[in-house]
Chain A
Amino acid sequence: MIKKLAKFIGQYKLDTLLTPLFVAAESVLEVLIPFKMADLIDLGIEAENINYVVKVGVILLCYAMLALACGALSGFFAARSSSGYAKNLREELYNKIQDYSFSNVDKFSTSSLVTRLTTDVSNVQNAFQMIIRIAVRAPIILITAMIMAFRVNHSLALVFVCVIPFLAVGLYFISTRAHPIFEKVFRTYDKLNNVVQENIRGIRVVKSFVREDHEIEKFENVSDSIYKNFSKAERLIAFNSPLMQLCVYTCILLISWFGAKMVVAGSLTTGQIMSMFTYVMQILMSLMMISMILVMLVISKASAERVIEVLDEESEIHNSANPVFDVKDGAVRFDNVNFSYAKDMNKLCLKNINLDIKSGETVGIIGGTGSAKSTLVQLIPRLYDVTDGAIYVGGVDVRDYDIETLRNNVAMVLQKNVLFSGTIKENLRWGDADATNEDIQRVCKLAQADDFIQNFPDKYDTFIEQGGANVSGGQRQRLCIARALLKKPKILILDDSTSAVDTKTDALLRKAFREEIPETTKFIIAQRISSVQDADKIIILDDGNISAVGTHDELLQTSDIYREVYYSQQKPVVAE
């Protein structure tokens, strides 16, 4: 895991290397100061040698200044390397997701991808900064202070050897006990947030069913469980600082007792006893720090794992070795196609599909919810690969095309379509980055969007809010169609893309398709029979099977389902 994550240090190698170096230098200097201080007291003050005091004092001041410089520099490099690291990691994750296929995206939900790119990256970044700074500092201080303590006086330093294991065991015991409870608390917090979230979003449901008390009870139960567990964990953590105090005080008393005897006996000096006191703090504090680092690392490990999951996910759709860069025409052939999202022949969504569509035909697709209409058309631009069988576009297996070539020639308007924040023009240019203003207006006229765009004060420069929130559903759908048309595709697929458009505009749209782009093959998925009535072929899908294919008139004769849908939507004859 560390190896995988270390890769993203990239161009910040130098900063990442310098940080622990300066941290180490600062830590060592901090340990040396009390050592030298002992000399100042013993040989200077005790010996009443003011020159010595000044001389050593100046040296010590230099040490402190140097430590300050090292500390500041380490902070500087740490900031550069950790921000840079986060940048690299975020970018790599983002790029990786851009290369995902539809099935990869389905596997992670959108919100989980967002969390991984935001919160999880920050957690990993914090852990990274901690590793190159505090995780270097604490052990170095611990070790060097121990060494210095032993140099000052072996026997006295044994005090540490006795007390450290006591503190270490205590801290270990507390954090291993408390940590699982904290994890539980955080999970309960998610639950609490979930209750609040659902409550706010569904407040009208809550109020109209008069379920306020039910909701309060739900909330209080979760809130209570947080209270109990959090208290339990915090009460354990509450032992930390008294334990620390106990150890510090024990050390001080032991050193005072034995040290005083040694000073009196002449084997220790006053200055040395004082430096020992400083080491008590340095050693025990760094031990405490280490225990904190360990807990923090365990917490961020979960984030690191989630990040790695994204990195390890491999896109399932790849360009073929010798890709074809030219799509001859818009003919489409399904040859014994079976498809399963789970790639399991026992869980097929599409069963034994055979279709032969000539270039330029208009194909309507009708079927109930869950009959796999969208799935069928998504196979054509190779958004998913077939599980079995093959699909040919322009006579070539879709898997043999260069993916970009294929998708540029097969334009798809998705059912769940989105516009992006930016002007209308910018949004439309997704279809063709080099489109002229005339090109754009032409496709908008075709998609019956020009009229309403002209009514906006800023016309084609109207700013679209994120997700297209400031245009109506029908307008959004027509903009999405225009965007797809700008690709000048050989095949155009509309997946329920005119559901919010009124019937009259819908008819105009189909007329425009017929007259303006007759050579383009058109697939139209719709709920309304009127949208597909005049198609060359209408396909009736039922539970992943093709139940019938034919023209409107043929199907009225042969297909029960078609007849039923048709009559359910038929208007009673309007008396003229």
Chain B
Amino acid sequence: MKPRMNGSGERLSKNEMLKTAKRLLNYVVVPYKKQFLVVIVCILISALAGVASSLFLQVLIDDYIAPLIGMENPVFTGLLKAILLMALIYLTGTLATLFYNRIMVTIAQGVLKKIRDDMFIGMQKLPVKYFDTHTYGDIMSRYTNDTDSLRQMISQSIPQTFSSLITVISVFIAMLCTSIPLTVVVLVTVSIMLFIAKKVGGNSAKYFVEQQKDLGKVNGYIEEMMNGQKVVKVFCHEEESKKNFADINNELCQSATKANIFANILMPIMGNIGYLQYILIAIAGGALAISGKSGILALTVGGIASFLQLSRNFNNPISQISQQMNFIVMSLAGAKRIFNLMDEKPEADDGYVTLVNAEIDSNGEIKETDHHTGTWAWKHPHKNDGTVTYTKLNGDVKFFDVDFGYSDDKIVLHNIDIYARPGEKIALVGATGAGKTTITNLINRFYDLQDGKIRYDDININKIKKSDLRRSMGIVLQDTNLFTGTIMENIRYGRLDATDEEVYAAAKLANADGFIRMLPDGYNTLITGNGEGLSQGQRQLLSIARAAVADPPVMILDEATSSIDTRTEKIVQEGMDSLMRGRTVFVIAHRLSTIQNADVIMVLENGRIIERGNHEKLIAEKGKYYQLYTGAFELS
């Protein structure tokens, strides 16, 4: 078997390995205590039946064949009885194998499902920060490579190693009982075999790392060039590209050949040393039998026959264990990564203020209702006196002297003060990295502040339950993320109980209805691969529709129309403005034309607000905004 490479190829220390194994065992043993016990018993029976099979040869030859040779009327009833007994043992062994194989399937698959589900559920609770600091490939490999090697380990390696271990021990005892000198021969050859396996295996592993490196290079080059294939064509760069590829491909071929040579010769060497051992036993055994020694050197022909079988049954499990060990060590490293993901600290949420649908009666009193009214209220329970107060959701957002950094030593926002009154359109302008998106990320608490306070309808946002806080805002990001499913389902993602009519209305508002109806299956068109086949602009329109159907009190538009042509953008803008009339909107935009009608424009530079005011005011101030607007500065 080829050594498999896992994500990082890291090895665990013994201590970590034990800890991981113990935790894994908890997943396996605790919920399946009874089944696991049955499996152990069955493996034991199955292994012993195998040993009995080897020993039976001696009985057969020495007791039922040799004495009968030359007899006038040989009687076979004894043999028949022995064979029937063996048949019974074999049948038990076979049934035991069947049982434990099938039970192991249930255990392995059940454990894997549990681990998979636990991992995903755990992941949903992680803060956004986790996803910033871990690459997509890194997280993904835990669901693919690591889980897959875990599957092989639980369903194959563990039972196989266990069964091999039992076989080795019982065969060893049987060998000792049959002939001590021959056992010594076996031990010597087995140690030689293991020594060679270690040498060859070590070389193989070394070259595999090299091969893996070259393979990574080749695959990386392929990916880069396939992505730039059209540029290659435009520059007639095909020949150079072919030549470069041929070079790295040759390198890969060389390291792959070396790695495979060592992997390939291991099995035939191990197998044939087994044959050498087999023959040596026959010679040594023959010599012993012929010399007719007694005591521990005594040996019969049946004994030799038995021993020959036993020696095979000794070699096979040993080479299996040595192969499995390597694999188990690697799988444990994978299991460790899976557990690490599960152990990540979930997003903290001690908010207790919740968002409810509300009705305002004629007295101006706020009443909680269970249906969508278009009015929302914050339900604020007070712990000390047990009363509940309701505050109408207005979308009033205030930042008081907020400092923030993604890590403690690098502050990216300084002294931010923002007053967004209900119904206002607040625009954030600034270069990439100025902190615009960061501000919106703080409002919905993707990240927590270092210093300062944010109040939402005069409630500290730390008191609001995160899920309710987020439910109160719609957000449209520059990078659109659509999900596999129909267009209808994708828009409905904004509000799961939206009717078809509401979806159509949202699509019309986002100016997406037109192109959707032009698609062959209209709203039932299946979206795959984040909407491949749709233009970036169309994807943005869909994600705007998705936010519109949610009909949120507060909306954040982060470069939401950056890929839409100016004419369409204007239409969408008008639609959004009418939807959000009377509600608060935060807009981040590259094109200044889209934010001219904002109530407040804030210009950010290096994490500080350097200018604020409406368009006319800022133009009159002739500061940074004026320069941006007249094109003297570049936003990038």
Q: Inside 8 A of A253's CB, which chain B residues have their CB?
A: 83, 86-87, 90
State the Cβ distance, B410 to closest chain A Cβ, in Å: 19
Given B57, B128, B629, B635, which contacts A203 in the complex, CB threshold below 8 Å?
B128
User: Known interface pairs A205-B481, A216-B124, A238-B102. Does A257 touch B79 (Cβ–Cβ under 8 Å)?
Assistant: yes
A359 to chain B, nearest CB (A): 21
Q: Which residue of chain A lies nearest to B82 when distances are taken between CB atoms in the complex?
A: A256
Which B residues are CB-close (under 8 A) to A205? 475, 477, 481, 493, 543
Is A90 on the interface with B (CB-CB < 8 A)? yes
Whole-angstrom CA separation of A239 from B95 in the bound complex? 10
**A274, CB-defined interface residue at 8 Å:** yes
Task: Say yes or no: A277 contacts B309, CB within 8 Å.
Answer: yes
- Give the residues in chain B near A3, CB-CB below 8 Å: none
Q: Which of B253, B269, B301 has the most CB of A within 10 A?
A: B253
A214 in contact with B496 (CB, 8 Å): yes
Interface core residue of B246, B249, B567, B619 (most chain A CB under 10 Å): B567
> Do residues A72 and B269 form an inter-chain contact, with CB atoms below 8 A?
yes
1/0 per residue, CB under 8 A from B, across A248-270: the answer is 01001100110011011010001
Q: Is A364 an interface residue (CB 8 A)?
A: no
- A80 CB-CB contact with B under 8 Å: yes
Given contacts A242-B101, A253-B90, A467 and B227 within 8 Å (CB-CB)? yes
Contact size range, B: 35 or more
Q: Mark B217-258, 1 if CB is under 8 A from A, else 0.
A: 011101111111111111111101110011001101100111
Q: Which residues of chain B are within 8 angstroms of A507 by Cβ–Cβ distance?
A: 631
Q: Is A234 an interface residue (CB 8 A)?
A: yes
A-B pairs under 8 A by CB, number: 409
Q: Is the CB of A94 within 8 A of B269?
A: no
Cβ contacts under 8 Å, B219 to chain A: 114, 118
Complex Cα distance, B105 from A270, in Å, reads 42
A414-B283 Cα distance, complex, nearest whole Å = 78
CA distance A234 to B249 in the complex (A): 38
**In the complex, which residues of chain B have a beta carbon less than 8 angstroms from the beta carbon of A230?**
109
Say how far B346's CB is from chain A's closest CB, in angstroms.
11
Q: How far is the CA of A533 from the CA of B298 in the complex (A)?
A: 108
Interface string of A95-124 (1 = CB under 8 A from B): 101111110010001110110011000000
In the complex, the chain A residue whose C-beta lies closest to that of B473 is A208
Task: Give the Cβ gap from A233 to chain B, nearest Cβ, in Å.
Answer: 9
| A564 near B567: Cβ-Cβ < 8 Å | yes
Separation of A467 and B635 alpha carbons in the complex (Å): 20
Bound form: Cα–Cα A522–B312 in Å = 80
* A561 (CB) vs chain B CBs: closest residue: B567
Q: Contacting B564 at CB < 8 Å: which of A369, A421, A474?
A: A369
For B550, the closest partner residue in chain A by CB is: A209
Decide: B256 and A86 in contact? CB cutoff 8 A: yes
Tell me which of A50, A79, A503 contacts B290 (CB under 8 A).
Answer: A50
| Structural contact, A430 and B235, CB atoms closer than 8 A | yes
Supposing A90-B249, A473-B636 touch, asked if A252 and B53 sit within 8 A by C-beta, the answer is yes
Question: Which residue of B121, B276, B515 contacts A64 across the interface (Cβ within 8 Å)?
Answer: B276
In the complex where A60-B279, A98-B232, A246-B94 touch, is A369 in contact with B535 (Cβ < 8 A)? yes
Give the CA-CA distance A202 to B61 in the complex, in Å: 72
Chain A nearest CB, measured from B551 CB (Å):
12
Which residues of A194-213 have CB atoms within 8 Å of chain B's CB atoms? 194-212
B582 within 8 A of A: no
Cβ of B414 under 8 Å from chain A: no
- B22 CB to nearest chain A CB (Å): 25
Do A369 and B268 have beta carbons less than 8 Å apart?
no
Q: Closest Cβ of chain A: how far from B68's Cβ, in Å?
A: 5
Whole-angstrom distance between the Cβ of A422 and the nearest chain B Cβ: 10
B260 touches A245 (CB 8 A): no
Asked whether A75 lies within 8 Å of B535 as measured between CB atoms, the reply is no
Nearest Cβ in chain A — how far from B136, in angstroms?
5
- List the B side residues contacting A302 at CB < 8 Å: none
Q: Are B226 and A113 neighbours in the complex by a CB distance under 8 Å?
A: yes
Asked whether any CB of chain A lies closer than 8 Å to the CB of B352, the reply is no
B444 CB-CB contact with A under 8 Å: yes
Nearest B residue to A371 by beta-carbon distance? B565
| Contact across chains for B301 and A41 when beta carbons are under 8 A apart | yes
The complex places the Cα of A547 from the Cα of B272 at a distance, in Å, of 81
* In the complex, A161 has a CB within 8 A of chain B: no
Query: Dominant SS at the A interface?
Result: helix
B93 within 8 A of A: yes
Looking at A336-344, A548-556, A568-576, the stretch in contact with chain B turns out to be: A568-576
Docked Cα-Cα span, A369 to B632, in Å, equals 28
Is B76 engaged at the interface, CB distance under 8 Å to the other chain?
Answer: yes
Q: What is the chain A residue whose CB lies nearest that of B238?
A: A98
A423 at the interface (CB under 8 A from B): no
Q: In the complex the two chains form, is A235's CB within 8 Å of B105's CB?
A: yes
Contact, CB under 8 Å: A264 / B71:
yes
What chain B residues lie within 8 Å of A241 (beta carbons)?
Answer: 97, 101
Given A118-B222, A242-B95: A193 in contact with B231 (beta carbons within 8 A) = no
Say yes or no for B60: interface residue by CB 8 A criterion.
Answer: yes
- Given A53-B283, A205-B481, A216-B120, also A235-B593 (CB < 8 A): no
Contacts of B291 in A (CB 8 A): 50
A521 at the B interface (CB under 8 A)? no
Q: B530 interface residue, CB < 8 Å from A?
A: yes
Q: Is A138 an interface residue (CB 8 A)?
A: no
Judge whether A74 and B227 touch: CB under 8 Å. Answer: no
B64 in the interface, Cβ–Cβ < 8 Å? yes
Stretch at the interface among B139-147, B174-182, B401-409: B139-147
Q: Which residues of A contact B91 (CB under 8 A)?
A: 249
- Interface hits, B463-495 → A, CB 8 Å: 467, 470-471, 473-475, 477, 481-484, 493-494
* Interfacial chain A residues near B57, Cβ < 8 Å: 274, 277
In the bound assembly, the distance between CA atoms of A216 and B119 in angstroms comes to 10
The answer to whether B101 and A245 have CB atoms under 8 Å apart is no
Q: Is the CB of B287 within 8 A of A50?
A: yes
Is B634 an interface position by the 8 A CB rule? yes
Q: How far is the CA of A54 from the CA of B283 in the complex (A)?
A: 6
- For residue A407, CB closer than 8 A to chain B, the reply is yes
Considering only CB atoms, which chain A residue lies closest to B222 in the complex? A117
| Docked complex Cα distance between A249 and B496 (Å) | 61
**Is the CB–CB distance between A227 and B61 below 8 Å?**
no
Q: Check A76 against B236 for contact (C-beta < 8 Å).
A: no
A68 at the interface (CB under 8 A from B): yes
Query: Cα distance A414–B236 when bound, in Å?
Result: 14
In contact, A369 and B290 (Cβ under 8 angstroms): no
Residues on B with beta carbons closer than 8 Å to the beta carbon of A86: 253, 256
Docked Cα-Cα span, A197 to B515, in Å, equals 27
A261-B61 CB under 8 A given contacts A87-B253, A118-B219, A201-B530: no
- The residues of A that contact B309 with a CB separation of less than 8 Å are 277
Q: B71 to nearest A CB, angstroms?
A: 7
**Docked-complex contact A76 and B535, CB < 8 angstroms:** no
CA distance A487 to B259 in the complex (A): 44
**Are B620 and A575 touching (Cβ within 8 A)?**
yes
Q: Are A227 and B305 in contact, with the CB atoms below 8 A?
A: no
B589 within 8 A of A: no
Chain A neighbourhood of B117, CB < 8 A: 219-220, 223
Contact A260 B79 (CB under 8 A): yes
What are the interface flags for A31-65 relative to B under an 8 Å C-beta threshold, 1 for contact and 0 otherwise? 00100010011001110111001100100110111
Residues of chain B in range 97-125 having any CB-CB distance to chain A below 8 Å = 97-98, 101-102, 104-106, 108-110, 112-113, 116-117, 120-121, 123-125
Interface residue? A387 (CB, 8 A): no
Contact partner of B235 among A242, A416, A431, A568, CB < 8 A? A431
**Is A45's CB under 8 angstroms from B304's CB?**
yes
Residue B331 interfacial (CB < 8 Å): no
A26 interface residue (CB < 8 Å to B)? yes
Decide if B202 is an interface residue (CB 8 Å cutoff). Answer: no
**20 other contacts beyond A105-B230, A205-B543, A238-B105, with CB at 8 A cut-off?**
A33-B278, A41-B305, A54-B283, A67-B272, A78-B264, A79-B261, A102-B233, A105-B233, A113-B226, A202-B481, A204-B477, A208-B473, A209-B470, A256-B79, A257-B79, A277-B57, A407-B235, A414-B234, A430-B237, A504-B631
**6 intermolecular pairs with C-beta atoms under 8 Å apart:** A76-B265, A79-B261, A84-B253, A205-B543, A238-B98, A473-B636
